[in-house]
Amino acid sequence: MTGNHFSRPQRRFFLKVLGAGLPAAFSIRASSAATNGKGLVKIVEFDAAGVRTGVVEVEKVEKPLAEWKKQLAPEDFEVTRRAATERPFTGRYANNHADGLYHCVCCNTSLFDSKTKFESGTGWPSFWQPIAKENVRLRSDDSLGMHRTEVLCTRCEAHLGHVFDDGPPPTGLRYCMNSAALLFTQRAKSGSKPS
Protein backbone atom coordinates (compact mmCIF):
# COMPACT_ATOMS: atom_id res chain seq x y z
CA MET A 1 0.00 0.00 0.00
CA THR A 2 2.66 2.42 1.03
CA GLY A 3 4.55 1.49 -2.11
CA ASN A 4 1.68 2.57 -4.28
CA HIS A 5 1.30 5.72 -2.33
CA PHE A 6 4.86 6.80 -3.07
CA SER A 7 5.33 5.42 -6.52
CA ARG A 8 3.33 8.06 -8.36
CA PRO A 9 5.21 11.15 -7.25
CA GLN A 10 8.48 9.29 -7.84
CA ARG A 11 7.55 8.38 -11.35
CA ARG A 12 6.56 11.94 -12.07
CA PHE A 13 9.90 13.14 -10.74
CA PHE A 14 11.75 10.70 -12.97
CA LEU A 15 9.94 11.79 -16.09
CA LYS A 16 10.64 15.37 -15.21
CA VAL A 17 14.37 14.67 -14.87
CA LEU A 18 14.48 12.81 -18.16
CA GLY A 19 12.46 15.50 -19.89
CA ALA A 20 14.81 18.16 -18.61
CA GLY A 21 17.58 16.50 -20.57
CA LEU A 22 19.82 15.72 -17.64
CA PRO A 23 20.78 12.29 -18.81
CA ALA A 24 24.56 12.34 -18.52
CA ALA A 25 24.84 11.27 -14.89
CA PHE A 26 21.60 9.36 -15.14
CA SER A 27 22.70 7.21 -18.05
CA ILE A 28 25.93 6.14 -16.33
CA ARG A 29 23.91 4.91 -13.40
CA ALA A 30 21.40 3.26 -15.64
CA SER A 31 24.03 1.36 -17.53
CA SER A 32 25.80 0.13 -14.40
CA ALA A 33 22.46 -0.97 -13.02
CA ALA A 34 21.74 -2.74 -16.28
CA THR A 35 24.90 -4.82 -16.02
CA ASN A 36 24.19 -5.87 -12.44
CA GLY A 37 23.73 -9.61 -12.33
CA LYS A 38 24.92 -9.98 -15.89
CA GLY A 39 28.57 -10.67 -15.12
CA LEU A 40 28.16 -14.14 -16.56
CA VAL A 41 30.86 -16.30 -18.09
CA LYS A 42 30.83 -19.70 -19.75
CA ILE A 43 33.10 -22.34 -18.31
CA VAL A 44 33.37 -26.07 -18.79
CA GLU A 45 32.71 -28.30 -15.79
CA PHE A 46 34.43 -31.60 -15.07
CA ASP A 47 33.70 -34.39 -12.66
CA ALA A 48 36.30 -35.54 -10.15
CA ALA A 49 37.61 -38.06 -12.69
CA GLY A 50 38.38 -35.23 -15.10
CA VAL A 51 35.54 -36.12 -17.46
CA ARG A 52 33.91 -33.15 -19.12
CA THR A 53 30.30 -32.78 -17.93
CA GLY A 54 29.28 -29.74 -19.94
CA VAL A 55 29.38 -26.00 -20.46
CA VAL A 56 27.72 -23.91 -17.78
CA GLU A 57 27.04 -20.21 -17.54
CA VAL A 58 28.05 -18.94 -14.11
CA GLU A 59 28.37 -15.60 -12.39
CA LYS A 60 31.85 -14.16 -12.24
CA VAL A 61 33.40 -14.22 -8.78
CA GLU A 62 34.24 -10.66 -7.84
CA LYS A 63 35.34 -9.65 -4.35
CA PRO A 64 37.16 -6.71 -2.80
CA LEU A 65 40.88 -7.31 -2.27
CA ALA A 66 40.38 -7.30 1.50
CA GLU A 67 38.08 -10.29 1.21
CA TRP A 68 40.47 -12.24 -1.00
CA LYS A 69 43.18 -11.50 1.53
CA LYS A 70 41.09 -13.07 4.29
CA GLN A 71 40.31 -16.13 2.20
CA LEU A 72 43.78 -16.91 0.82
CA ALA A 73 47.18 -17.81 2.23
CA PRO A 74 49.55 -14.81 1.93
CA GLU A 75 51.53 -16.15 -1.05
CA ASP A 76 48.40 -17.34 -2.85
CA PHE A 77 46.95 -13.85 -2.42
CA GLU A 78 50.08 -12.08 -3.74
CA VAL A 79 50.20 -14.31 -6.82
CA THR A 80 46.54 -14.45 -7.76
CA ARG A 81 45.37 -10.97 -6.83
CA ARG A 82 48.56 -8.96 -7.30
CA ALA A 83 50.17 -10.90 -10.17
CA ALA A 84 53.29 -11.79 -8.19
CA THR A 85 55.45 -14.73 -9.30
CA GLU A 86 56.47 -17.39 -6.81
CA ARG A 87 60.16 -18.26 -6.60
CA PRO A 88 60.97 -21.21 -8.89
CA PHE A 89 61.37 -24.67 -7.33
CA THR A 90 59.56 -23.50 -4.19
CA GLY A 91 55.90 -24.00 -5.12
CA ARG A 92 53.77 -26.84 -3.78
CA TYR A 93 53.24 -28.43 -7.21
CA ALA A 94 56.51 -27.95 -9.10
CA ASN A 95 57.33 -31.61 -8.41
CA ASN A 96 53.84 -32.98 -8.07
CA HIS A 97 53.50 -36.07 -10.29
CA ALA A 98 50.22 -37.31 -8.90
CA ASP A 99 47.27 -38.03 -11.16
CA GLY A 100 44.47 -35.51 -10.84
CA LEU A 101 43.10 -32.06 -11.54
CA TYR A 102 44.36 -28.58 -10.79
CA HIS A 103 41.72 -26.02 -9.80
CA CYS A 104 41.76 -22.28 -9.22
CA VAL A 105 42.78 -21.65 -5.60
CA CYS A 106 40.36 -18.69 -5.52
CA CYS A 107 37.13 -20.02 -7.09
CA ASN A 108 37.73 -23.76 -7.64
CA THR A 109 37.24 -23.67 -11.42
CA SER A 110 38.98 -26.65 -13.07
CA LEU A 111 42.06 -25.37 -14.88
CA PHE A 112 44.52 -28.15 -15.76
CA ASP A 113 44.65 -31.94 -15.96
CA SER A 114 47.82 -33.66 -14.73
CA LYS A 115 47.85 -35.60 -18.03
CA THR A 116 49.09 -32.41 -19.72
CA LYS A 117 51.73 -31.58 -17.09
CA PHE A 118 55.33 -31.94 -18.22
CA GLU A 119 58.84 -31.38 -16.89
CA SER A 120 59.87 -27.97 -18.15
CA GLY A 121 62.91 -27.63 -15.88
CA THR A 122 61.78 -24.12 -14.97
CA GLY A 123 60.76 -24.85 -11.40
CA TRP A 124 57.14 -23.91 -12.06
CA PRO A 125 54.34 -26.39 -12.79
CA SER A 126 54.01 -26.48 -16.57
CA PHE A 127 51.22 -27.75 -18.79
CA TRP A 128 50.82 -27.94 -22.55
CA GLN A 129 47.14 -27.01 -22.49
CA PRO A 130 44.40 -25.91 -20.11
CA ILE A 131 41.66 -28.40 -19.28
CA ALA A 132 39.26 -26.27 -21.38
CA LYS A 133 40.03 -23.16 -23.36
CA GLU A 134 36.90 -21.53 -21.90
CA ASN A 135 38.25 -21.80 -18.36
CA VAL A 136 41.24 -19.51 -18.84
CA ARG A 137 41.54 -16.08 -20.34
CA LEU A 138 44.63 -14.64 -22.04
CA ARG A 139 45.77 -11.05 -21.78
CA SER A 140 48.74 -9.23 -23.23
CA ASP A 141 51.30 -8.34 -20.54
CA ASP A 142 54.06 -5.83 -21.32
CA SER A 143 55.30 -5.43 -17.75
CA LEU A 144 58.99 -5.84 -16.78
CA GLY A 145 60.11 -4.76 -20.26
CA MET A 146 58.94 -8.03 -21.85
CA HIS A 147 56.08 -8.99 -24.07
CA ARG A 148 54.30 -11.92 -22.50
CA THR A 149 50.84 -13.44 -22.49
CA GLU A 150 49.25 -13.57 -19.08
CA VAL A 151 46.90 -16.43 -18.16
CA LEU A 152 43.94 -15.68 -15.90
CA CYS A 153 41.06 -17.68 -14.47
CA THR A 154 37.94 -16.91 -16.51
CA ARG A 155 35.61 -16.95 -13.55
CA CYS A 156 37.49 -14.85 -10.98
CA GLU A 157 40.33 -13.27 -12.99
CA ALA A 158 42.98 -14.73 -10.71
CA HIS A 159 46.46 -14.30 -12.15
CA LEU A 160 47.72 -17.83 -12.85
CA GLY A 161 50.96 -17.33 -14.77
CA HIS A 162 52.00 -16.92 -18.43
CA VAL A 163 51.88 -18.98 -21.61
CA PHE A 164 54.88 -19.32 -23.95
CA ASP A 165 55.27 -20.92 -27.37
CA ASP A 166 58.24 -23.15 -26.49
CA GLY A 167 56.26 -26.09 -25.13
CA PRO A 168 56.19 -29.73 -26.21
CA PRO A 169 53.85 -31.42 -28.73
CA PRO A 170 51.03 -31.64 -29.45
CA THR A 171 50.38 -27.91 -28.85
CA GLY A 172 53.90 -26.44 -28.66
CA LEU A 173 52.66 -24.33 -25.75
CA ARG A 174 54.00 -24.02 -22.22
CA TYR A 175 51.53 -22.81 -19.64
CA CYS A 176 53.94 -21.72 -16.92
CA MET A 177 51.85 -21.60 -13.77
CA ASN A 178 52.33 -20.59 -10.17
CA SER A 179 51.62 -23.40 -7.70
CA ALA A 180 50.17 -20.71 -5.43
CA ALA A 181 47.31 -20.15 -7.88
CA LEU A 182 46.38 -23.84 -8.01
CA LEU A 183 44.71 -26.42 -5.84
CA PHE A 184 45.30 -30.07 -6.71
CA THR A 185 42.81 -32.90 -6.17
CA GLN A 186 43.52 -36.59 -6.79
CA ARG A 187 41.60 -38.11 -9.68
CA ALA A 188 38.56 -40.04 -8.56
CA LYS A 189 36.98 -42.94 -10.42
CA SER A 190 34.93 -42.06 -13.47
CA GLY A 191 31.35 -41.12 -12.71
CA SER A 192 32.19 -39.54 -9.33
CA LYS A 193 30.56 -36.29 -8.43
CA PRO A 194 32.65 -33.13 -8.68
CA SER A 195 34.35 -32.09 -5.48
Residue closer to Zn ion (CB basis): 107 or 132: 107
Task: Establish if 160 lies at the interface with Zn ion (CB under 5 A).
Answer: no
User: Does residue 147 contact residue 125 with C-beta atoms inside 8 Å?
Assistant: no
Task: Establish if 43 lies at the interface with Zn ion (CB under 5 A).
Answer: no
Longest CA–CA separation in the chain, Å? 71
156 carries an active-site annotation = no
Q: How far is the CB of 94 from Zn ion (least distance, A)?
A: 20
Beta bridge partners of 45: 54
Instruction: Report DSSP letters for 130-162, one per residue.
Output: -S-GGGEEEEEE-GGG--EEEEEETTT--EEEE
Rounded Cα distance, 111 and 93, in Å:
14
Closest to 85 in 3D by CA, of 188, 179, 182: 179
Q: How far is the CB of 13 from Zn ion (least distance, A)?
A: 43
Task: Establish if 180 lies at the interface with Zn ion (CB under 5 A).
Answer: no
| Interactions with Zn ion, residue window 109-128 (CB under 5 A) | 109
Task: Establish if 79 lies at the interface with Zn ion (CB under 5 A).
Answer: no
Q: How far is the CB of 137 from Zn ion (least distance, A)?
A: 10
Task: Establish if 104 lies at the interface with Zn ion (CB under 5 A).
Answer: yes
* Cis bond before residue 23 (omega within 30° of 0): no
Residue closer to Zn ion (CB basis): 156 or 180: 156
Task: Establish if 156 lies at the interface with Zn ion (CB under 5 A).
Answer: yes
Binding track, positions 135-154, relative to Zn ion; x by CB under 5 A: ------------------x-
Closest to 52 in 3D by CA, of 101, 98, 99, 96: 101
Contact set with Zn ion (CB under 5 A): 104, 106-107, 109, 153, 155-156, 158
